Chains A and B, each alone.
Chain A
């Protein structure tokens, strides 16, 4: 039958396509098995992680270089801090990532698998990015004004509230389009924390959380989504991590810090937020509105989440070993790479405490053998 011949021909074509694509050499830089690097037996394997989009740029860069170095693939799914905590609790990933430390009820939900351990990795800056024709970078903002923008009270860029902070600069009359997150986000938590610190109306209204009831604006998924939202509309404002702002060449605001100085989000200003921070024993600390004249007030620390006893939580010993080596990389070589993407490395004291936590991770009661 001619139909059968037709079918046979198309199946053959499909198979040929498959063989061809399989056989071709891909030149992607991350397909690392044949790439060079430190010799010796590679550990290989795959670990899955999910969570915050805030550190996604630096985590994916780490993952690429980690694979070159050790052959281990790290699949990091940037789905937001809320998603990271959820998947970590459900046990569907080897490690979670969040910029918002787990709340008591979240830790309780995770308790049936074990004790969550927060490992801080880097500090980043939550920029107030905007795209307004006629407005240069460095518009001065303070917590109260930004809160009023996000409350919908300040509607145009030449509003008296903004003009008061920027005496002399000509402000366009463009309408403000607010961009915020539609998913549960640690970036949101840090941003709303900053807003709440200066605006009682914000505290009593939307409040501080990974997701709030936004009075106005468009919701987008992830830091990348908010960046896309800002890019799309003239007059838009959004809160995105520094790396995203830089990559899209956004203009960012100079935000008033605790000492009254207007500081732009630079690497130094972000790092300054970590200076002098003394985290509690569980390493859950926040650097929002940190003291210091040169500090950028919306600097946030981000965490990797693992269970204290990884194997009791459901991981195989092999996976636990790989995860630990990933964490060691984050606190080791990773710290040197972070500044390349404008993330600030951890202050030495905090890094030491984090390393101690990682060293103390266990598999079925035993310390996890071997490091990276």
Chain B
């Protein structure tokens, strides 16, 4: 390119000068995109406000504490106390965490630290396929395949361990446990993926140092990987919890739809999300029923907000690389 071509003149102006009509486009684009971003804020604000306004009649009639903590969901008498639903949500999510998180973290550990290099990619992709299965398919598989086949084992467990709290009595095919189990399967991909990301950022020095000092692979994991990843894993678990709390369709199919607190872990129950899906059609013209369902949705929303907020704190702490306490035995 010739030295003088950048200052070439076209109609008396340098080609570097922008045509004046272009000058107007930039601010327009900026305004348009800023408008879109502002639109999202407005949308979410509107979302929250509208939900709250629609739910208010229920809160006015039963009180906030009354709605959430009263255990009496009686549609025919127009009494809406959602405690059984809240408890059901908590129980199924807790089961999902207790079963799902250890499995997910174990899989993450295996994939990052122990698996043969060739298997890593295929196994990772396979694990992520669990996330591609839609919720309604999990429900279908759960109620037709899993729940009936588990019944025998659940009955045996109930009979053998009847002395444990929350175990004993009859076993129902749709119950808290099987709903929680399917939720656990559903949260494995997300918990595992985030755990893997966190574990991949463990500084190699820590790991190599431990190995150089003669630690076995497991000891290296225990001393270098796990403490470092603790915050991130907690964040991942909380994100999984958020997902489990909000899951609707699979739970509706598997929980038994009984608006009372089941006596055992193998009894039927109900959750906030399931009651909304089941009853909204009948609430179309009953203002209090509709308000109660929207209030249940609001409680669900707030719960997921809190859980996801806590999750974010942990995940941020992990990504900023804050080290966990130096484990004993490594101190110089």
Contact = CB atoms under 8 A, between A and B. Distances in A.
Query: Do A and B touch directly, given a CB cutoff of 8 Å in the complex?
Result: yes
B284 A90 contact: yes
A177 interface: yes
Interface string B267-307: 01000000000110111111000000000000000000000
Contacts of B285: 85-87, 89-90, 106, 109-110
Interface stretch (A24-32, A216-224, A302-310): A216-224
A178 B125 CA distance: 43
A216 to B, nearest CB: 8
Contacts of B75: 184, 211
Interface in A206-248: 207, 209-214, 217-221, 232-233
Contacts of A82: 281-282
A274 interface: no
Interface residues of A, number: 32
A315 interface: no
Nearest to B286: A86
Contact of B76 (A85, A106, A175, A207): A207
B152 to A, nearest CB: 12
A40 B281 CA distance: 39
B174 A92 contact: no
Given A110-B285, A175-B170, A182-B257, A212 B278 contact: no
A296 to B, nearest CB: 26
Contacts of B286: 86, 109
Nearest to B169: A175
A37 B309 CA distance: 64
A301 to B, nearest CB: 21
Interface string B154-186: 000000000000000010111000000000000
A106 B284 CA distance: 12
Given A86-B286, A184-B282, A214 B258 contact: yes
B256 interface: yes
A79 B172 CA distance: 25
A177 B284 contact: no
B219 interface: no
B206 interface: no
B286 to A, nearest CB: 7
Interface in B82-120: none
Interface string A90-118: 10100000000000001001100000000
B318 to A, nearest CB: 34
Contacts of A89: 284-285
B8 interface: no
A221 B258 CA distance: 12
A55 interface: no
Nearest to A236: B173
Interface in A142-170: none
A79 B281 contact: yes
B170 A177 contact: yes
Contacts of A221: 257, 278
Contacts of B203: none
B148 interface: yes
B284 A183 contact: no
A183 B170 CA distance: 24
B279 A183 contact: yes
B282 A83 contact: yes
A83 B281 contact: yes
Nearest to A106: B285
Q: Which of A86, A87, A175, A221 neighbours the largest number of chain B CB atoms within 10 Å of its CB? A: A86
A86 B284 contact: yes
A120 interface: no
Nearest to B274: A182
A85 B281 CA distance: 10
A297 interface: no
A110 B286 CA distance: 10
Contacts of A210: 76
Nearest to A233: B173
B208 interface: no
Contacts of B173: 218, 232-233
Nearest to B283: A86
A334 interface: no
A218 B257 contact: yes
Q: Which of B75, B257, B279, B286 neighbours the largest number of chain A CB atoms within 10 Å of its CB? A: B257
Contact of B172 (A83, A177, A183): A177
A69 B261 CA distance: 51
A124 interface: no
Nearest to A184: B282
Interface string B120-152: 000000000000000000000000000010000
Interface in B246-262: 256-260
A265 interface: no
Interface string B223-262: 0000000000000000000000000000000001111100
A80 interface: yes
Contacts of A182: 257-258, 278
B74 interface: yes
A244 B174 CA distance: 21
A220 B281 CA distance: 15
Interface in A170-211: 175, 177, 182-184, 207, 209-211
A221 B278 CA distance: 8
Contacts of A219: 256-259, 268
Interface in A63-94: 79-80, 82-83, 85-87, 89-90, 92
Nearest to B147: A232
Given A83-B282, A177-B170, A217-B258, 20 more contacts: A80-B281, A82-B281, A86-B282, A86-B283, A86-B284, A86-B286, A87-B284, A89-B285, A90-B285, A110-B285, A182-B257, A183-B279, A209-B76, A213-B76, A217-B268, A218-B268, A219-B257, A219-B259, A221-B257, A221-B278
Counting from the closest, the 3 A-B pairs by CB-CB distance are A219-B257, A89-B285, A182-B257
18 contacts: A79-B281, A82-B282, A86-B285, A86-B286, A87-B285, A106-B285, A109-B285, A175-B170, A183-B278, A183-B279, A183-B282, A184-B75, A213-B260, A218-B174, A219-B258, A221-B278, A232-B173, A233-B173
